[in-house]
Amino acid sequence: MKTIRFFIVSFMLGAASPALQAQITVGLKTGYTQAWEDYGDVNLPDDAVIHVNRFNVTAMGYYRLTPHFSLGIEPGFVKRGAACVPGWWGGTPGFSGDTQLTLNYVEMPLMLAANLPFWSPKLEFKAKLGYGLAYMVSANEKIVDLETNEELFKQKVDFDRRNLNRWDNGVYLGIGFGYQIGKGSLLLESTYFRSPKNADESNASKNRSLNINLGYSFLLSR
């Protein structure tokens, strides 16, 4: 946490310097999120659908270290969760039905990015690796009838009555492409998130997600 906070302050101070603006890239991306949870050794039905389809919105700020490597932050909002929840919030272990869970997080990963020319001077291949923290700001659960697929129950989760770990952390792995358009670059990126921590204190429920995003970034000095 202290490292990320120090980097944010340093980044903001650096952005105020005209000399450093030529090294700083900022941007915004948004898109589709497929989210699920790792339930450990719990046995699920063979036809169980465990993922949910959600979305994310992410800002970007990077400082160029070399012509091909940058260090930055990607603060954002992402919806994670799962489509079926085995033994969620305690109770008898096992599959409890089509309980769809949505976990809403704000997150702050610190990322190292590589940008390499690809086929043409305007096209770049991008690879990213990072680690970040996330905080659950809200959560919702929805129960759907197994036979009719009818929504039976939906409510906002009361954190005072649920054993949820609101803080999360994990590794981010990303690949993508950037194409120069005008003064910036059009981005197509995919990012995988993997957490070692259970979202529920009582059950194996490690967050996993895959983002597919479109975005745009540009140098501050341009």
Q: Is residue 65 part of a domain?
A: yes
How many Cβ atoms are within 10 Å of 17's Cβ, its own excluded? 11
**Within a 13 Å sphere around the CA of 176, how many CA atoms are in the beta-carbon half?**
23
Structural domain includes residue 144: yes
Could you tell me if residue 91 is inside a domain? yes
The CA distances from residue 75 to 10, 108, 141, in Å, are 15, 4, 25
195 domain-assigned: yes
Q: Is the pLDDT of residue 15 over 80?
A: no
Is 219 within a domain? no
Of the candidates 55, 43, 152, the residue with the CA atom closest to the CA atom of residue 102: 55
Q: What CATH number is attached to the domain comprising 133?
A: 2.40.160
Maximum Cα–Cα distance across the chain: 63
For residues 61, 66, 68 and 69, what is the CA-based torsion angle, rounded to 10 degrees? Answer: -50
- 95 pLDDT band (50/70/90 cuts)? very low
| Cα 176 to Cα 42, 77, 216, distances in angstroms | 34, 20, 12
- pLDDT digit string, tens, across residues 151-175: 777 889 888 877 889 999 999 999 9
Write down the pLDDT at residue 149: 67
Mean pLDDT of the chain: 85
Place of tokens 């990320």: 4
In tens, the pLDDT along 125-157 reads 999 999 999 999 999 988 776 666 677 778 898
On whether residue 27 sits in a domain, the answer given is yes
Single-letter code of the amino acid located at 144: V
Whether 86 maps to a domain, the answer reads: yes
Number of folded domains that form the chain: 1
Domain containing residue 103: 2-114+127-176+191-213
| DSSP codes joined into one string, 26-53 | EEEEEEEEEEEEE-TT----TT----EE
Query: Cα separation of 218 and 185, whole Å?
Result: 6
- Please indicate, yes or no, if residue 220 is contained in any of the structural domains: no
